[in-house]
Amino acid sequence: MRLPRLIGRWRRDRDVQGRTSWAHGRVLASVAVLVAVLLAFPGVVPNTLGNLGSLLETFLPWGGLAVPVLMVLALLRRSAIAMVSLVLPAAVWAGLFGERLLPADQGAAHDLTVLQHNVSDENPDPEGTARTLAQVGADLIALEELMPGALPVYEAVLAPGLPHHAVVGTVGLWSRYPLEDSGPVDIRPADVGGDWSRGLRSTMRTPSGDVAVYVAHLPSVRIRLPDGFDSRWRDESAAALGAAIAAEELDTVVLLGDFNSTLDDRGLAPVTSRLAPAEEGFGFSWPAAFPIARIDHVMTRAAIPVTTWTLPATGSDHLAVAARLER
């Protein structure tokens, strides 16, 4: 039975108290409106209590699951007003994320192919991971959680196609084109020990001009009592990274890294306000076994991300993220 006909029948029917389907289910209708508001304006949820606002923003696309749940409840309640109210959150979700369901244009013109991967400090197969990455044929590969014991493996496998590389702490960069002026970017939170080094900046000399390339691995977040969604270190590191990018003198910038959050999270605003993301599709990258969030990113300035995709799982708990860029 079609939905309008079903609602019309409900309108004629009455429950034991003589109420029509438009007279009950108002709580469900109110919840539907609330879901729509939270999807459209997640910033209304403050971070003063357990960083609930950032937590909501991190998993914002999954808020659309409230629509089918509420629809089932509305059907069980035979509530016409609840069913009609579901149009609002469904429309908001479609407006925000519907475009990501469209197929990618893999044939789009591009100048650079870049790849970003947190290879995991517990990866049991670094050689297999390196070979998977090398098969993409990328011009630029950024890696995080590089361990000293695994570094020679990545160097050996990636060198034939990407002869230029730079490593700072646990992050590294491999390039088809020469890399110059490579060095650390200080994104260490104030309370973290001095041997913590997860930021790198290099100048990539391409035939069409210099590109400032940044690699960053922001601190992890934790969900725990009584702090709730604890992202203090991550937010502090994001602020330092944003300041470094703001001070960058080269026009073209490519940032690759594990940000430990989605780009909807307000804690990343110092970075996201200055760069354009490669975010075609949902591209969930973590955890690899069942990805629920895109926390690994490619972002640019003065370059246009034309398509992006994730690679099959490697020995890491993250999926690699690749993107094609046009300058």
Tally of CB atoms within 10 A around 309: 17
User: Is residue 201 a contact partner of residue 213, using CB atoms and an 8 Å limit?
Assistant: yes
Can you list the alpha helix ranges (DSSP code H) found in the chain? 3-12, 26-40, 52-58, 66-77, 80-85, 87-97, 126-134, 151-158, 232-246, 269-272
Q: Using one digit for the tens of pLDDT, what is the confidence trace for 201-235? A: 999 999 999 999 999 999 998 776 666 778 899 99
CATH number of 296's domain: 3.60.10.10
Last residue of a domain, one of 81, 101, 121: 101
Rg of the chain, C-alpha, whole Å: 23
Cα distance between residue 241 and residue 136, in whole Å:
28
Residue 30 pLDDT greater than 80, yes or no: yes
Q: Quick one: 193 and 320 in the same domain?
A: yes
Inside any domain, residue 106: no
Q: Using one digit for the tens of pLDDT, what is the confidence trace for 244-262? A: 999 999 999 999 999 999 9
Query: What average pLDDT does this structure show over 112-125?
Result: 97
Report the amino acid identity of residue 59: F
> What is the reported pLDDT for 193?
82
CA dihedral of 131, 137, 140, 142, whole degrees rounded to 10: -30
> What is the reported pLDDT for 262?
93
Q: Quick one: 86 and 226 in the same domain?
A: no
Inside any domain, residue 63: yes
Inside any domain, residue 107: no
Of the candidate ranges 102-111, 180-189, 219-228, the one whose mean pLDDT is the lowest: 102-111
Q: Quick one: 55 and 26 in the same domain?
A: yes
User: Is residue 125 a contact partner of residue 154, using CB atoms and an 8 Å limit?
Assistant: no
Cα distance between residue 299 and residue 73, in whole Å:
41
Q: Using one digit for the tens of pLDDT, what is the confidence trace for 260-307? A: 999 999 999 999 999 999 987 888 999 999 999 999 999 999 999 999
CA dihedral of 142, 229, 100, 171, whole degrees rounded to 10: 0
Inside any domain, residue 176: yes
Domain of 305?
A: 112-326
Q: Quick one: 168 and 268 in the same domain?
A: yes
Q: Quick one: 192 and 59 in the same domain?
A: no
Q: Quick one: 299 and 172 in the same domain?
A: yes
Q: Quick one: 147 and 296 in the same domain?
A: yes
Percent of the chain with pLDDT over 70: 90
Inside any domain, residue 311: yes
Q: Quick one: 304 and 268 in the same domain?
A: yes
Bridge partners, residue 296, by sequence: 258
Q: 241: helix, coil or strand?
A: helix
Last residue of a domain, one of 76, 101, 126: 101
Q: How many domains does the chain have?
A: 2
C-alpha closest to that of 71 among 83, 80, 62, 79: 83
Inside any domain, residue 185: yes
Inside any domain, residue 51: yes
Q: Quick one: 92 and 124 in the same domain?
A: no
Phi first, then psi, for residue 193 (nearest 5°) are -60, 160
Q: Quick one: 83 and 170 in the same domain?
A: no
Q: Quick one: 153 and 127 in the same domain?
A: yes
Query: What average pLDDT does this structure show over 87-114?
Result: 84
> What is the reported pLDDT for 130?
98
Phi first, then psi, for residue 44 (nearest 5°) are -70, -20
Kindly report the pTM of this predicted structure. Answer: 0.87
Last residue of a domain, one of 36, 69, 101: 101
Q: Quick one: 95 and 120 in the same domain?
A: no
C-alpha closest to that of 148 among 197, 215, 200, 220: 197
> What is the reported pLDDT for 105?
62
User: Is residue 258 a contact partner of residue 295, using CB atoms and an 8 Å limit?
Assistant: yes
User: Is residue 189 a contact partner of residue 233, using CB atoms and an 8 Å limit?
Assistant: yes
